[in-house]
Structures are given as structure tokens and as C-alpha cells.
Structure 1
Amino acid sequence: MIYFDLFIGFLEVGFFSFGGAYTAIPLIRDVVMAHGWLDDEMLSYMIAISESTPGPIMVNMATYVGSEKGGLLGAAIATFAVVLPAFIIILLLMVVLNHFLQNGYVKAALSGLKPCIIGIILVTGIFMIVRNCGLMPRYNIDVLTTVLTGLIALIYFGSRKVLKKGLNPIALICLSAVVGIAVYSL
């Protein structure tokens, strides 16, 4: 019975939580309290843990409650139930969007948006580099950060020349983290 309750409870949360994970907290609280799964203190701890662990808060909370009440199977059921509505909605949207993507006007509009999106991302990246390297008038120049930014850019663009493709973004992020830790921990 607990597995069915977990499934229905978190399916309800998944269907009716709009506006992000923080708006789901009251829904999760209602479901958890209605079933008596946790008390207020444990729920507060659960929220704190869910916020501090990687991943969406709503999924973390569902997994935690499911694990507490139904073990590994309960965690899997609660997690599946909370993400199922979003999965179904995305699937339906893809079917509808796929139909619209065949329209010439929609293709033209999306083609026009691509350069805008690239420009926004590029400007944001340049702004972050300029601000973090201290090149803006109100910031002092941080030579080390400037050198590290140049080094990472050199590695990225050098890999494009040597490998004929850029580094995987995850690999670049990991490399940046390792370099940052190595340099700033010394």
C-alpha cells in the first residue's frame, strides 16, 4: 500500500507544481503531512538536504521520502512518479512541435533566433571574462585570473585546431576546476 501511496502522492506533486521546485515544497509538505510520512522537523531537514545535494529539489525530496518510507523501491517509485508528468508533457510538446517545425514560417523564425541566442551567450561570456579578469574600470585587474582565462581559452581553441573539434564542455569545466583548484590552493 505504501508504494501505491508514494506513487499517487508524488504523481500529484509532479502534475500540480508549476513555477519551479520551491513552489513544489508546499505541495510535498501537504502530501507528506497528509500521509504522516514525516513530521515538520524531519521535513525541514529533508528540504535542507534536498537543497544542498545536486539535482532538482523536487526530485531529491521525492527520492528522500520514498527511501524513508519504502526503501530503494519506494525511492524509485516516488522519483518516477514526480518526473512522469514532466516527461509526458515534454513528449506531447515534442509531437506538437515536430509538426510545427515542418512549417516554413516556423523554420524561418527559428533560424532567425539562432544568431540572437548565440549573441546573448557570447556577450554573457565576454562580460563574465571582462568582469572576473578585472578589466572593468571599477575592478582591479587580477593577473592570475586573466592568465588562467587565457590558458583555458588557449587549450580550448588549441584542441579545436589539433583535434579538429572542441573539447567536450564537461571536460573543459572539469579541466577548469582542476586548474583553478591547483592554482588557488597554492
Structure 2
Amino acid sequence: MKELISIFISFFKMGSVTFGGGYAMLPILRKECVENKKWITEEQVMDYYAVSQGLPGIIAVNVSVFIGYHRKKFLGGIAAALGCVTPCIIIISIIAAFLSNFQDNVFIKQAMTGVSICVVALILDAVLGLWKKGVKDIWGLAICLLVFILTEFSPISPILVIIGAGLTGVILKNWILTKKEVVK
């Protein structure tokens, strides 16, 4: 029970300061779950993010569930998910109750501008971290560029692009491993 409460509190803290979604959460998540708590490895975080991108729902919540499940199975996943979404529910409820008072407030608008800039920096940090862990060779670079081109300049569904990239990764890795065995 103690660890479930710890999982909830950790994800509550992260959810409280994560503006901008799952990618903005990545640096905070790495600091808390990899460095401070040592619950998972850097590679596991990247794997959870990769899988969460292809699943329906909010990436931050999906990743939280994976980490919570990794620690304490089903109840850990629930504790992490609740910890992640509870701050959002509280903040949205407060804003909704007082929205008419906030929407034209110059200080709120300026604060949100500052938060938006911060979110861009956090997402850039997440992208650089993902890049270091994911793009390891020329084939990874090629897949990355192709995915960017397809998602940015074509009408192809991102879901199909993710599935295609996964299949391409499997085919390429198997081809490379087969080629190495032949050389031996």
C-alpha cells in the first residue's frame, strides 16, 4: 500500500506541473522515475513512449499506467493513472468555475504565454532525448526522415505510418542480423 501511495504522489506531482501533454512530461518523468526513484530505465521510458504513441488515449496517462504496472501490476497502473489525471481534473474544475473571471485577465494571458514557451522547451528536450535513444544508425535516420515526410506532407494516417515504421524496423533488423550471420 505504501508503494501505491508513493506511485500516486509521484504522478500527482508530475501531473501538476505538466503543461503541454505527454512529451512535455518526459523530462520530468525521466528525472522522477529514472533518476530519483530508479523505478525504470531510460530505455523502458522510451519503449513506453513508443508504444503509447500508437495507443488510443493520452500519452502521459498511457506512459504512467505502464510505469505503475511495471512497479505494482494492476493496482500500480491505476495509482499512476489517477495520480496523473487528478491534478488536471482539479485545475480544470477550478478554471471552469471561474472562467468568466479569467478569460480576459491580462496577467493570465501573459502567464499562459510564458507557460507555452516553457512547453516548447520541454518538448524539444523530449525530442532530443528520443532522438538519442531511437536513432542509432543510418536506417533509423532513414525511417525517421521518411516518417516525418509522410506525416507532414501526405494525407496518410499517422496510425498507418506508425505501423509501417514498426514493420520496417522489424524487417530491417532481421535483414541486418541475417546478413551478419551470413558473413560469419
Scaled by the length of structure 2, what TM-score is found?
0.51
Please report how far the alpha carbon of residue 74 of structure 1 lies from its aligned counterpart in structure 2 after TM superposition.
Answer: 0.8
* Superimposed CA distance per residue, residues 102-139 of structure 1 (whole angstroms, 9 cap, x where no aligned partner): xxxxxxxxxxxxxxxxxxxxxxxxxxxxxxxxxxxxxx
1:85 corresponds to which of 80, 84, 87: 87
Matches within 5 A, 1:141-180: none
How many residues are treated as equivalent by the alignment?
101
Is the partner of 2:40 in helix, strand or coil?
coil
- Runs (4+) of structure 1 exceeding 4 A deviation are none
Is the partner of 2:39 in helix, strand or coil?
coil
1:65 aligns with 67
| 2: CA distance, partners of 1:12 / 1:49 | 23
* Superimposed CA distance per residue, residues 44-98 of structure 1 (whole angstroms, 9 cap, x where no aligned partner): 1111111111111100011111111011111111100100011001111121137
| 1: CA distance, partners of 2:73 / 2:22 | 23
Gap regions ≥5 residues in structure 2: 103-184
Q: 39-48 or 60-69, which moves further after superposition?
A: 39-48
Residue 47 of structure 2 corresponds to residue 21 of structure 1: no
Matches within 5 A, 1:1-186: 1-33=2-34, 34-97=36-99
| 1: CA distance, partners of 2:83 / 2:57 | 16
Identity within the alignment, %: 30
Write the letter of the residue equivalent to 2:67: V
Q: Residue 21 of structure 2 contacts residue 59 of structure 2 at CA under 8 Å; is this kept in 1?
A: no
Q: CA RMSD in A?
A: 1.8
Write the letter of the residue equivalent to 1:18: F
Write the letter of the residue equivalent to 2:5: F
Q: Residue 11 of structure 2 contacts residue 80 of structure 2 at CA under 8 Å; is this kept in 1?
A: yes
Write the letter of the residue equivalent to 1:85: P
Q: Residue 22 of structure 2 contacts residue 60 of structure 2 at CA under 8 Å; is this kept in 1?
A: yes
Q: Which has the larger radius of gyration?
A: 1
Write the letter of the residue equivalent to 2:62: N
| 2: CA distance, partners of 1:23 / 1:55 | 16
Please report how far the alpha carbon of residue 99 of structure 1 lies from its aligned counterpart in structure 2 after TM superposition.
Answer: 7.6
Please report how far the alpha carbon of residue 19 of structure 1 lies from its aligned counterpart in structure 2 after TM superposition.
Answer: 2.1
Scaled by the length of structure 1, what TM-score is found?
0.51
2:123 aligns with none
